[in-house]
Amino acid sequence: MSSLPLSWPSAATATTTKPAFPSSHLPSRPNYSFKVSCQATNRHDNQNHKNSPQLSNTETNSHVKLDRRNLLLGIGGLYGATTNLVSADHPALATPITSPDISKCSTGTNLNTKQPLDVNCCPPMSTEIIDYQMPPVTKMRFRPAAHLAGKEYYAKYEKAIALMKALPADDPRNFMQQANVHCAYCNLTYEQAGDPKLKLQIHNCWHFYPWHRWYLYFYERILGKLIDDPTFGLPYWNWDNPDGMMLPEPFVKTDSSLYNVRRNQTHLPPALADLAYTQRKPTKPDKIVANNKSIMYNEMVRNAKKLEDFYGAKYILGTATDPGPGSVERGSHMAIHSWVGEATPSGEDMGNFYSVGRDPIFYSHHANVDRLWTIWRGLQGPKPKDFTDPDWLNADFLFYDENAQLVRVKVSDTLENEKMGFVYQDVDLPWLKNRPKAGVTKSKVATTSGAPSPNTVFPVKLDKVVKVLVDRPKKSRSKKDKEKEEEMLVIQGIEVDTGKFVKFDVFVNDEDDKPDEFDKAEYAGSYSQVPHKNSTKVTSMIRLGLTDLLEDLDVEDDDQILVTVVPKAGGEDITIGGIKIIYSS
């Protein structure tokens, strides 16, 4: 197996996409006309948009004559007029991820095992897609910390969820239909740009935050409309703060609409959420708090200095699934999913991507992930940096809004939460003051370990602890050098089966060899993955910041560092292609 390139993956092929059709569940379809509206709307009412520009087409069986990219070009889209030309050799022709043809949502067979899938995530069909325009913000939605919200708030929230669950089963705003939105986008059921060989996936890439922000946005608006409260905001589970690390009490009341029976019963209150969770023996509460604060500092500060390291790898048309997750996504985000889900290999509901939306705590979990995005941008100063790449800004997705209207949305509209009409309750950030200290400074373990060079070890199956001695191309760098370039440890060619829960941790110059302790500077970061119902083999990579770590260890003058990779779950299902150090500007 060859090593991955250090640049994030580029597109290989772009093919035609098609508009949505009335039904994906009939064995054959009669001829009919469909309408696609290009009118921007805030959908405050249920009008039919009779004056909207329309296009019609007739389908015979599965043959479609309209190329959706031509339509998008007609409304000013940036989706390219070429076919089968996007490649690594022609990056200028790359195009952003486009909203899927939901008529081709597949229940199909497992991509890995070739066995029939026993789950249908496909959404109700619509003959009209509206390009969504956010309404003016007249009243701000307030998202409270779940552990601080009162009885009156939870009575309102429980009523909203109960009403959502009571909607007709085929209403796209129904609770299970909303759960299926995540399943369809994350369980490899949509074709990417109409190419059956490439599946759409919005995890483990730079679309992770924007897509989930839109998901919560419409979910929240649906709930607010059901209880006629335009200020209603979802509660966020404040698991990054010791005061909020327990599963919020209202979610564990068995008579509540917020309750879900498919959770790990040993993790109910007073158990504390473990951000280093590995499905192994439980960690002592005081150690959980210390570990959690260190992990959060790593994910939000030390490993999040560059845009792609916080957001995730570039993902455009033609990119293979899971090019590379960002720091929070691969760490605390995955840990919470696994920690809440059933204590079984499949981990349902929260512990498996296809079923996560069936547990109401999912939305509070992701509200906190979204809040961390807002906090991270705030930590960058008054003018936070974001991708300016049109392949990110112009990527679009489909959701049903509070009026059951199918709408198309763009990444570019998600950058400012207040412009989207919601704010978060302020709480303390204890992890921000918790830069981990070195267990041992000026360690000589790199020179005395006798560990081999990466070139003699990789590729390797991670069924045991792997230690390698990695060369540093540059040392004794000045403050100016560090400001210009971040020294990074790249772990590439990470091959995993998406049907399995896997996790490994990475340590640098760690003399203690205590793989369950993370409140120390020697801890560099982690990679983890929650299982999918629909599984396939993927190849990914991660980048871990070294600049601060090496300062804390006081080994900036060393020629080499000792890197220890510790499998914590599914090591026999993980292969690593290589490890090296790069400098990212």
- Tell the residue number behind the tokens 């990579």, with chain if given: 541
| CATH fold of the domain at 445-584 | Jelly Rolls (2.60.120)
Is 49 annotated in a binding site? The answer is no
Please state, in angstroms and rounded to a whole number, the distance separating the CA atoms of residues 354 and 121: 8
Please state, in angstroms and rounded to a whole number, the distance separating the CA atoms of residues 176 and 36: 26
Q: Closest Cα partner for 133 from 37, 36, 40, 230?
A: 40
Q: Closest Cα partner for 462 from 484, 428, 491?
A: 491
Report residue 208: phi and psi, to 5°. Answer: -55, -50
* Active-site amino acid positions: 182, 203, 212, 333, 337, 353, 366
Is 207 annotated in a binding site? The answer is no
Domain boundaries, the chain: 68-433, 445-584
Each residue's pLDDT, cut to its tens digit, for the chain (585 residues) gives 333 333 333 333 333 333 332 332 322 322 323 333 333 344 333 333 333 333 222 232 333 333 333 333 222 222 222 223 333 333 445 689 999 998 888 876 666 677 767 788 899 988 899 999 999 999 999 999 999 999 999 999 999 999 999 999 999 999 999 999 999 998 888 988 878 888 898 999 999 999 999 999 999 999 999 999 999 999 999 999 999 999 999 999 999 999 999 999 999 999 999 999 987 777 888 899 999 999 999 999 999 999 999 999 999 999 888 899 999 999 999 999 999 999 888 889 999 999 999 999 999 999 999 999 999 999 998 888 899 999 999 999 999 999 999 999 999 999 999 999 999 999 999 999 999 999 999 999 999 999 999 999 999 999 999 999 999 999 999 999 999 999 999 999 999 988 889 999 999 999 988 888 999 999 999 999 998 888 788 999 999 999 999 999 999 999 999 999 999 999 999 999 999 999 999
246, β-bridge pairs: 272
- Single-letter code of the amino acid located at 176: M
How many residues are there in the chain?
585
Q: Which two tokens stand for residue 438?
A: 């070195």
SS3 502: strand
Is 337 annotated in a binding site? The answer is yes
- DSSP assignment of 334-380: HHHHHHHS-SSSS-TTTTSTTTGGGSTHHHHHHHHHHHHHHHHHHHT
* Those residues with Cβ within 8 angstroms of residue 350's Cβ, 6 or more apart along the chain or in another chain: 260, 262, 263, 336, 337, 338, 340, 341, 356, 359, 361, 362, 365
Burial class from Cβ neighbours inside 10 Å (0-12, 13-18, 19+) for residue 281 reads: exposed
Is 532 annotated in a binding site? The answer is no
Is 90 annotated in a binding site? The answer is no
User: pTM for the full model?
Assistant: 0.84
Going by the DSSP 8-state scheme, the letter that residue 467 receives in this structure is E
| CATH fold of the domain at 68-433 | di-copper center containing domain from catechol oxidase (1.10.1280)
